[in-house]
Structure 1
Amino acid sequence: MNLETRKLEFVQEFLKLQSEEVISKLEKLLKSERNSSIDYKSEPMSKEELNSRIDQSESDFDKGRFKSSSELLSKYK
């Protein structure tokens, strides 16, 4: 299935939605995705910044400061 077909199917399903809560969640997700894609496209990350982020992420993980994928997914159900 190509991207255009997927978009059309998504829009059709979206138009069927009756829940304001679900629509709000989708709006937030879209806004978040748009904002994050703008951030990454505006300026590439330097090698030093990437390594710094990796080090911070590993430190956070070692200290238990993370969420599992199931915890994140449950937030959007």
Structure 2
Amino acid sequence: MNLEARKYQFIQELAKVEDERILEKLELVLKANQNDWFDELSESEKNEIQIGIDQAEKGEVVSHEDVMKRFSKWH
């Protein structure tokens, strides 16, 4: 079933919903899907993420395995 057909089927099912609590939950899901968590970060948080991305692109990374070896005495 393609996306358009799924949307149409969902709209048909939505029209049958009589419980307001279900509609409220669906509204919350739709609203949550519209907000990008990145937009809610502070500028300093966004900058730190960008620094990490830049480092990763330069190959300045440490593998998970190496980190686990280094800190295994505390794990």
CA distance in 2, matches of 1:33, 1:5: 20
Q: CA deviation at 1:46?
A: 3.2
Q: Gaps spanning 5+ residues in structure 1: where?
A: 40-44, 52-77
CA distance in 2, matches of 1:12, 1:37: 31
Q: CA deviation at 1:38?
A: 8.4
Q: In structure 2, what is the equivalent of residue 46 of structure 1?
A: 50
Q: 1:48 to 1:21 in 2, by over 3 A?
A: same
TM-score w.r.t. structure 2 length? 0.51
How many residue pairs get matched? Answer: 46
2:10 maps to 1:15: no
Q: In structure 2, what is the equivalent of residue 64 of structure 1?
A: none
Q: CA deviation at 1:7?
A: 0.2
Q: In structure 2, what is the equivalent of residue 33 of structure 1?
A: 33
The percentage of aligned residue pairs carrying the same residue is 40
Q: Gaps spanning 5+ residues in structure 2: where?
A: 40-48, 57-75
Let me know the Cα RMSD of the aligned residues. Answer: 2.9
CA distance in 2, matches of 1:47, 1:3: 37
TM-score w.r.t. structure 1 length? 0.49
Greater relative contact order (CA < 8 Å, ≥ 6 in sequence) = 1
Q: 1:13 to 1:38 in 2, by over 3 A?
A: farther
SS at match of 2:36: helix
Q: Which amino acid aligns with 1:29?
A: V
